[in-house]
Structure formats: structure tokens, C-alpha cells
Structure 1
Amino acid sequence: MIRIMFVCHGNICRSPMAEFIMKELVRREGLEDDFLIASCAVSTEEIGNGIYPPAKNELKRRGIPFSEHYAVQLKHSDHENYDLFVVMDKSNLRRARDILGGDSEGKLHMLMEYAGISRDVSDPWYSRRFDVAFDDIMQGCEGLLRSLI
């Protein structure tokens, strides 16, 4: 089983979008039993809050199913429970590295690297462009899945 944790700042926009997009891509390939996919935050600001409504609307608009989700924070103990931590931006990367106590096993990666692009996933919290964030995340998740199967 491949265990993936998607990580963003608050776990209400980008990382839950990535979680549910990846779950759907895996489902379409008939590989649900081969993956454990989750998401979390590097901050405590949104802990317990659900997916931000515009992010939910974009998932619905694009036909990506999702279930109830509440923001949780990345924990040091997650390091042993996941094979891969996929972050949305450089700030998330730094904070995740701090929380996990480093990355000696090479488990931390930027999502867009799987799309062959060296940049952050667009942050819709600031841009209000959930469509652009969705496109970035989809492109990254498709590349990630290709790299794993």
C-alpha cells in the first residue's frame, strides 16, 4: 500500500482538493485498495474546519466526489505512517520539514514537480482562482499517479 499525505497551510483548500482529486484518479484506475490518501495542514489556524466552500464548489463543478472533511495538523508521528508527503508550496515544505524533524528519507516533495514544473501550486485563498488551483493540482496528481504505477 502506498500512503500519501497532501499538505498545505490550513487544510481547507489545496490539500483537501488534492486528496479528493487523487482518490478519484486512483478509483478510475481501480487501485483504491493500493493507496491510502489523506491531507493535513502545517498550521493550526483552521483545525476542525471543513473544506472552504469555493473549493467544494470547484470539486463539484469538475465532477470530483468528496466526503466530509475536517482540517487536521501534520504531526511528527505522521512521518512513520506515510510514505510520501506532497506539499503545495515552499512555505509548506519548510514547515512540514520542521514538524517531521527533517527529511532524511526523501519523503517530502512539491506537487508541481510531478508535473515537471518548478513552482508552487496556485493559492486560491489569495487569488480567489479555485479553477487555476484545481488545474495545477490535477496536473500534479496525474503526474504523481503516473510516477507510482
Structure 2
Amino acid sequence: MIKILFVCLGNICRSPMAEFVMKDMAQKQGLEEEVYIESAATSSEEIGNGMHSGTIAKLTEMKIPFTNRKARQLTKDDYENFDYILGMENKNLHAIRKIVGQDSERKISRLLDFSQTPRDIADPWYTGNFDVTYQDIVEGCKSFLQWIKERTNG
């Protein structure tokens, strides 16, 4: 089983959106038994809070199933428990490394590093644009899933 952890600043917008988008993609491709997916925050600001209403609205609009969840902070143990730790932007990668330490197993990347156009995913908490964030997350999840398939089947 491949274990994936999506990480953003607060774990209420981007990382839970990526968590549920990826779970939906995996389920539709019959891979739900092959991947385990969670999300977490680098900061403690939103711990215990539910998803942002903009994330809920976008997932609902796109008919992506989701469950109620509470934001949690990344821990040092997550590095050992997950195969991939995917941040949404370079600031997240820096914060992830501060929490988990050295990335000796090269598990830490940005989600869009697997796409044709590697870049940060903007935080809709600040931009207010959940549509662009969703499009970037879908692009990243598709690219990452394809990358995983190529590695495991090739």
C-alpha cells in the first residue's frame, strides 16, 4: 500500500481538498485498496477546525465525496508512516522539513512537482479563489497518480 500525506499551512483548504480529490480519483480507478491518503498542517493555527467553507463548497460542486474531518498538525512520526509527503507550496516544504527533519528518503515534494508545469498551489484562504486551487490540485493529483502508476507498473 502506498501512503500519501498532503500538507498545507492550516489543513482546512488545500490539503483536505487534495486528500478528497485523490481519494475520489483512486476510487474511480479501482485503486482505493492500494493507496492510503490523509492530510495535515504545518502550523497549529487551525488544529481541530473543520474544512473551510470554500473547500466544502468546491468539493460539493464537483461532486467529490468527503467526510467531516478536523485539522491536524504534521508530526515527526508522519515521516516514517507515509511514503510521500506532498506540500502545496515551497513554504510548506520548508515547514515540513523543520518538523520532520532531514528528508533522507526523498519523500517530500510539492504536489505540482509531478506535473508538466511545476509550481506552487496558491492558498485560497488568501486569494479567495477556490476554483483555481481546485484546478491546480486536480492537475497535481492526476500527474502524481500517473507517476505512481508508471513507477509501480514499469
- TM score, norm. by length of structure 2: 0.95
Mapped to 2, the partners of 1:135 and 1:118 lie a distance apart of 14
Mapped to 2, the partners of 1:120 and 1:38 lie a distance apart of 20
Deviation readout 1:19-58 (Å, 9 max, x if unpaired): 0000000000011110110000000000000000111000
Aligned to 1:109: 109
Aligned to 2:9: 9
- The letter of the residue matching 1:113 is D
Deviation at 1:113, TM superposition (A): 1.1
Mapped to 2, the partners of 1:67 and 1:22 lie a distance apart of 14
Deviation readout 1:41-82 (Å, 9 max, x if unpaired): 000000000000111000110111100110000000111100
The answer to whether structure 1 residue 45 and structure 2 residue 45 are counterparts is yes
The ranges of structure 1 where at least 4 consecutive aligned residues each deviate by more than 4 angstroms after the TM superposition are none
Alignment of 1:1-149 (within 5 A): 1-149=1-149
Q: Secondary structure at the match of 2:133?
A: helix
Q: Secondary structure at the match of 2:80?
A: helix
CA-based RMSD of the aligned residues comes to 0.6
The alignment covers a number of residue pairs equal to 149
Q: Secondary structure at the match of 2:102?
A: coil
Mapped to 1, the partners of 2:43 and 2:62 lie a distance apart of 28
* Structure 2: stretches of 5+ with no match in the other structure: 150-154
- The letter of the residue matching 1:65 is P
Residue identity (%)? 46
Mapped to 2, the partners of 1:121 and 1:64 lie a distance apart of 19
Mapped to 1, the partners of 2:42 and 2:116 lie a distance apart of 24
- TM score, norm. by length of structure 1: 0.98
* Structure 1: stretches of 5+ with no match in the other structure: none
